[in-house]
């Protein structure tokens, strides 16, 4: 079957492999007891120029469950700051770079595995991924993508028939192997390792590679220092935008260690993440994050700190560069991106700056004061919005949004008045535009934890995958009129 498998016949490019084995170890995939395809991403199959009808489930299993017909597999070497502590014993401990291919858009993409067996970096771990962990990553990446977050995707999930023991799941628990589709698996921590080893030569080589593939516009700078500086500035901007995307959609990644920060500014590696229910900046998703370091509200500042940490390896190849000056605008860039996305969630593409700032801060005050979920608020706004709100402030949220606590009355009143001013400020633009902006920016279904538990229960109890596929379909088409 190998020769006929369209997934194996793709044009694989040895982009990272050709850098040499300072950056990786060649590893083998585990041989699994069983291979049941649980998810395949036909949208991505199309993006690779293939017709999904010509790619069978067996093709997926051969390539991405049995790992036959391709080599070498590269366990990437990296270190990283985990919860603030430097860890020089990291690296791909349960995954590898399977291969790199071009999409029809011309961009290079990685197939990376998670749960494909042990490597030199497994540190006593079993190299495996639980089925629930795999299901959770599929759901997170598909939901985030649909919400407009720059994220890795899930290409396939194969259940592999092993019995795993985990402290955070009833055990024994089922196993899976995920194939992730991402811009790159090069992390901030990939550079940190090279600094630790004091290898400026390898840092420069990797930087040139990253620039060639992911920051081609930096090539315009013939001077290496200027080129690297441009790369760093662009990365800071991309990360600011990513943090704004997470914050506006109410997503808490939960493990923002530097080894989980992609050098392309893409979001990836979904473990104990959660979408927030109530608006609460202190919300912390990982049960082992005792200090709330990676809380929902800390994400922008943590991203900035991770970008700051990356300066240390960069300094080895650009000792005189003022990297701090390049990072300094991060906060303002983040605020601008966040404001733009929040305005859209409130129905506006544009507002005059003072009004925009007032509306967003009063919205957050209101969300703190009233008993309403973050997503429910925007959903109610979308459902109840009426052009009549523009002429009559008394009609704004008259139906359901009530302040149960007397202390919540002033923020609600303030919000109503400000929202009314915003509506008036956009006329003569048709007020109906607001309804359409609301519908394009506020999801009807959100991947809250209870939704995930609700689809997991029938899988665990009766191997019933229908609720998973139903939920997946809803989160892949979250907006009005975008239903499949
Ligand atoms: P993560 O928290 O998923 O980003 O993983 C942090 C590090 O632990 C990475 O080096 C992983 O490869 C490694 N790791 C996590 N789980 C396992 C496992 N079950 N077996 C081996 N290595 C693991
Ligand atoms: Mg990781």
Q: What is the pLDDT of residues 359-391, one digit of tens each?
A: 999 999 999 988 889 999 999 999 999 989 988
Is the same domain home to 195 and 276? yes
Q: What is the mean pLDDT of residues 420-431?
A: 86
Ligand nearest the Cα atom of residue 152: 2
State which of 185, 217, 234 marks the end of a domain.
Answer: 185
State which of 141, 161, 185 marks the end of a domain.
Answer: 185
pLDDT at 403 over 70: no
Mutate to test the pocket of ligand 1, among 93, 96, 152 (most ligand atoms within 8 A of CB): 93
Taking the centre of ligand 1 as the mean of its atom positions, its distance from the CA of residue 122, in whole angstroms, is: 7
- Which atom of ligand 1 lies nearest, measured to the CA of 90? 10
């597999």: which residue's tokens? Answer: 73
Mutate to test the pocket of ligand 1, among 73, 76, 119, 122 (most ligand atoms within 8 A of CB): 122
Domain with 63 in it: 17-185
Is the backbone of residue 38 left (phi > 0), alpha (psi -120 to 50) or beta? alpha
State which of 150, 185, 220 marks the end of a domain.
Answer: 185
Taking the centre of ligand 2 as the mean of its atom positions, its distance from the CA of residue 122, in whole angstroms, is: 12
Is the same domain home to 181 and 214? no
- Looking at the domain assignment, is residue 453 inside a domain? no
Residue 2's pLDDT band (cuts 50, 70, 90): very low
Is the same domain home to 31 and 159? yes
Is the same domain home to 104 and 219? no
Contact 60, 44 (CB under 8 A): no
CB-CB neighbours of 457 under 10 Å: 12
| Ligand 1 binding pocket, CB closer than 6 Å | 90-94, 121-122, 125-128, 255, 260, 269, 271
Catalytic residue selected from 110, 259, 269, 289: 259
Global pTM value:
0.97
Q: Is 365 a catalytic residue?
A: no
- Which atom of ligand 1 lies nearest, measured to the CA of 128? 19
Query: Which range has the worst mean pLDDT, 245-254, 430-439, 470-479?
Result: 430-439
Taking the centre of ligand 2 as the mean of its atom positions, its distance from the CA of residue 80, in whole angstroms, is: 10
Taking the centre of ligand 2 as the mean of its atom positions, its distance from the CA of residue 344, in whole angstroms, is: 32
Is the same domain home to 74 and 211? no
Is the same domain home to 28 and 42? yes
Is the same domain home to 91 and 141? yes
Contact 193, 129 (CB under 8 A): no
360's CB contacts (< 8 A; 6+ apart) are: 339, 342, 343, 346
Q: What is the pLDDT of residues 87-133, one digit of tens each?
A: 999 999 999 999 999 999 999 999 999 999 999 999 999 999 999 99
Is the same domain home to 28 and 158? yes
Q: What is the pLDDT of residues 193-235, one digit of tens each?
A: 999 999 999 999 999 999 999 999 999 999 999 999 999 999 9
- Looking at the domain assignment, is residue 102 inside a domain? yes
pLDDT at 444 over 90: yes
Q: What is the mean pLDDT of residues 331-352?
A: 97
Is the same domain home to 38 and 178? yes
What b-and-e string marks burial along 109-134, b requiring 16 or more CB atoms within 10 Å of the CB? Answer: bbbbbbbbbbbebbeeebbbbbbbbb
Is the same domain home to 179 and 228? no
- Which atom of ligand 1 lies nearest, measured to the CA of 118? 21
Question: What local confidence, expressed as pLDDT, does residue 424 receive?
Answer: 92
């Amino acid at each position: 079957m190998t020769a006929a498998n369209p997934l194996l016949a793709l044009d694989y490019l040895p982009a990272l492999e050709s850098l040499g084995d300072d950056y990786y170890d060649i590893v083998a995939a585990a041989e699994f007891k069983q291979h049941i395809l649980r998810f395949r991403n036909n949208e991505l199959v199309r993006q690779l120029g293939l017709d999904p009808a010509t790619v069978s489930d067996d093709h997926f299993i051969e390539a991405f469950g049995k790992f036959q017909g391709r080599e070498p597999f590269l366990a990437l070497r990296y270190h990283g700051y985990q919860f603030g502590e430097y860890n020089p014993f990291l690296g791909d401990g349960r995954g590898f770079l399977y291969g790199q291919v071009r999409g029809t858009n011309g961009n290079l993409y990685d197939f990376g595995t998670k749960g494909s067996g042990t490597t030199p970096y497994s540190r006593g771990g079993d190299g495996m991924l639980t089925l629930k962990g795999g299901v959770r990553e599929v759901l997170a990446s598909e939901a985030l993508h649909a919400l407009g977050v720059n994220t890795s995707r899930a290409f396939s999930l194969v259940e592999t028939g092993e019995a795993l023991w985990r402290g955070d799941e009833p055990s024994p628990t089922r196993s899976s192997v995920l194939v992730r589709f991402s811009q790159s698996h090069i992390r901030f921590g990939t550079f940190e390792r090279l600094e630790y080893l004091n290898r400026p030569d390898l840092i420069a080589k990797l930087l040139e590679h990253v620039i060639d593939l992911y920051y081609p516009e930096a090539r315009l700078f013939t001077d290496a220092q200027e080129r690297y500086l441009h790369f760093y500035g662009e990365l800071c901007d991309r990360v600011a935008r990513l943090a704004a995307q997470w914050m506006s959609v109410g997503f808490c990644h939960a493990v923002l260690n530097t080894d989980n920060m992609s050098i392309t500014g893409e979001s990836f590696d979904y473990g104990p993440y959660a979408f927030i229910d109530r608006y609460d900046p202190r919300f912390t998703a990982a049960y082992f994050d005792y200090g709330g370091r990676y809380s929902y509200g800390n994400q922008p500042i943590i991203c900035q700190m991770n970008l700051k940490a990356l300066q240390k390896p960069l300094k080895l190849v650009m000792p005189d560069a003022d990297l701090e000056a390049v990072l300094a605008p991060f906060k303002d860039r983040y605020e601008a991106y966040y404001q733009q996305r929040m305005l859209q969630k409130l129905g506006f593409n544009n507002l005059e700056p003072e009004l925009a700032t007032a509306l967003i801060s009063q919205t957050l005050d209101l969300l703190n004061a009233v008993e309403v979920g973050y997503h429910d608020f925007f959903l109610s706004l979308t459902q109840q919005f009426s052009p009549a709100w523009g002429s009559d402030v008394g009609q704004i949220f008259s139906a359901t949004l009530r302040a149960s606590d007397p202390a919540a009355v002033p923020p609600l009143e303030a919000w109503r008045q400000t929202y009314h001013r915003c509506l008036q400020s956009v006329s003569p633009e048709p007020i109906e535009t607001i309804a359409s902006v609301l519908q394009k920016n506020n999801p009807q279904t959100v991947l809250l934890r209870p939704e995930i538990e609700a689809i997991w229960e029938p899988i665990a109890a009766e191997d019933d995958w229908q609720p998973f596929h139903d939920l997946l379909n809803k989160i892949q088409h979250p907006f009005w009129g975008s239903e499949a």
